[in-house]
């Protein structure tokens, strides 16, 4: 069944906000077997919203629109959608009661603009918001279903989970499509393609695509078939072939994140880790603690930005810093050993490098990063040369450091 997403909001057109709502909805719909084939983004502008609604109406059976339901004067979606579906506006006392109750619960006074949010199109079914003041709307006509939701991500997500997805699960998609994603890190897209270039000949029924992303390249397989079992068998065989060729680059499947995968290895082996960060500035600790329950393996992280911090907390010998500099294999190893020792963990991990834009020397360019690893048996460092962009250097350094631990635990290093 064809589905479309319409995102409304000036902030999406001018880059003030990134359209994460469409990504969230697309993922949920695809997971239920809907064929999301078109996403339209328009501003808070009557004519464009009407045109976007009209196009989606002609192409798709399911449309989810978000944005422009707020209490302020620039939010016009409700009015425009009512017009599109030839519906009068009515004031619904029970919605006002819910909004008033919500304000009570938050211990805040309701502002007058929120009163207008109890006015809704007569022809719409109401979808409860729960955490915000704007109710959602559902319209049905000529076999099409339109859901209109607020653009505030937390509200939209909750309404999708609580109200919309249960309805969509019942609607079903009428055909069987299954997909599988293998997530890689540490290999460029064209090299990966080269490794598995026989795939399309061996599995002509599977649509294969490559998606370069922040930590690495995702390989996605999509197959349609007569039964769930047939689809899943096909994907399993395809997945086996890719694993056979590229196993050491594949860290997980589906929505797995590198930090979650690593967390599971650490949990399974009952290992603990301490982290000493210089150029990544806390990002590795942040990633590791994004995992619920991370206190089970993560003990502490030291962001040792200054030389003093490296000496005082991590006990990096001053001679090493003087002789080799803060950005050196020797310092990386001493930091990893230091954090392992002071936190009494099984593993110590460190980064030291030049994130940029400043700090480069003739022999140490921006993007140069050393990673240190220490466990009971050995300590060593790895050298990387990333790019010129500070944020990108921090992100890649953090990912490669986590991958270093993964590679050690799997015996690849």
Site for a second copy in 182-221 (CB under 8 A): 188-191, 193-194, 197, 200, 207-213, 218, 220
Q: Which of 167, 228, 247, 391 touches a second copy (CB under 8 A)?
A: 391
- CA separation for the pair 398, 401 (Å, rounded): 5
Structure tokens at 357: 């834009």
State how far Cα 366 lies from the chain centre: 28
Binding residues among 122-141 for a second copy as defined by CB under 8 A = 131, 133
Binding residues among 230-259 for a second copy as defined by CB under 8 A = none
Binding residues among 62-91 for a second copy as defined by CB under 8 A = 70-74
Least Å from the CB of residue 289 to a second copy: 3
Tell whether residue 108 is a contact of a second copy (CB under 8 A).
yes
Tell whether residue 294 is a contact of a second copy (CB under 8 A).
yes
Enumerate residues 6+ apart whose C-beta is below 8 A from 8.
41, 42, 43, 44, 49, 52, 65, 66, 67, 68, 77, 151
Q: Which of 357, 361, 383, 412 touches a second copy (CB under 8 A)?
A: 357
Q: Which of 90, 162, 171, 290 touches a second copy (CB under 8 A)?
A: 290
Comparing CB distances to a second copy, the nearer of 123 and 130 is: 130
Interacting span for a second copy (CB under 8 A) from 84-92, 119-127, 234-242, 299-307: 299-307
- CA separation for the pair 401, 404 (Å, rounded): 5
Q: How many CB atoms lie within 10 A of CB 300?
A: 16
Backbone angles phi, psi at 132, to 5 degrees: -130, -175
Binding residues among 15-34 for a second copy as defined by CB under 8 A = 15-20, 22-28, 30
Tell whether residue 358 is a contact of a second copy (CB under 8 A).
yes
Comparing CB distances to a second copy, the nearer of 234 and 397 is: 397
Tell whether residue 293 is a contact of a second copy (CB under 8 A).
yes
Q: Which of 60, 160, 288, 371 touches a second copy (CB under 8 A)?
A: 288
CB 186 within 8 Å of CB 212: no
Q: Using alpha carbons, list the distances in angstroms from residue 212 to 26, 247, 303.
A: 18, 18, 30
Alpha helices by DSSP H, listed for 316-355, are 318-324, 329-343
């Amino acid at each position: 069944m064809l589905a479309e997403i319409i995102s409304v909001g000036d902030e999406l057109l001018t880059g003030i906000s990134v359209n994460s709502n469409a990504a969230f909805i697309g993922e949920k719909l695809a997971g239920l077997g809907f064929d999301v084939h078109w996403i339209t983004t328009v501003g808070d502008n009557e004519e464009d919203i009407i045109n976007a609604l009209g196009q989606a109406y002609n192409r798709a059976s399911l449309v989810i629109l978000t944005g422009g339901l707020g209490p302020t004067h620039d939010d016009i979606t409700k009015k425009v959608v009512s017009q599109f579906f030839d519906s009068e506006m009515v004031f619904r006392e029970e919605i006002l009661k819910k909004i008033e109750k919500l304000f009570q619960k938050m211990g805040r006074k309701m502002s007058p603009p929120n009163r207008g949010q109890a006015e809704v199109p007569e022809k719409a079914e109401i979808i409860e918001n729960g955490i915000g003041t704007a109710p959602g709307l559902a319209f049905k006509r000529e076999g099409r279903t339109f859901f209109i939701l607020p653009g505030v991500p937390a509200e939209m997500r909750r309404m999708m989970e609580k109200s919309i997805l249960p309805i969509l699960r019942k609607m079903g998609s009428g055909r069987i499509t299954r997909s599988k994603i293998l997530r890689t890190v540490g290999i460029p897209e064209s090299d990966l393609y080269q490794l598995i270039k026989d795939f399309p000949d061996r599995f002509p029924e599977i649509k294969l695509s490559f998606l370069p992303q922040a930590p690495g390249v995702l390989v996605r397989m999509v197959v349609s078939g007569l039964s769930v079992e047939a689809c899943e068998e096909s994907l399993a065989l395809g997945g086996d072939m890719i694993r056979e060729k590229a196993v050491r680059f594949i860290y997980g499947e589906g929505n797995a994140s590198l930090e979650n995968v690593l967390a599971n290895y650490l949990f399974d082996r009952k290992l603990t880790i301490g982290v000493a960060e210089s150029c990544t500035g806390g990002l590795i600790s942040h990633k590791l603690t994004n995992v619920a329950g991370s206190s089970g393996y993560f003990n502490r992280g030291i962001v040792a930005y200054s030389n003093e911090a490296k000496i005082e907390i991590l006990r990096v010998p001053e001679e090493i810093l003087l002789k080799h500099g803060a950005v050196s294999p020797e310092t990386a190893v001493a930091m990893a050993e230091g954090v392992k020792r002071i936190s009494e963990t099984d593993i110590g991990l460190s980064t030291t490098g030049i994130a940029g834009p400043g700090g480069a020397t003739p022999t140490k360019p921006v993007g140069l990063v050393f990673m240190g690893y220490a466990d009971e048996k050995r300590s060593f460092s790895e050298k990387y040369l990333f790019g010129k962009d500070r944020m990108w250097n921090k992100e890649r350094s953090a990912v490669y450091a986590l991958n270093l631990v993964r590679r050690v635990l799997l015996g690849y290093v």
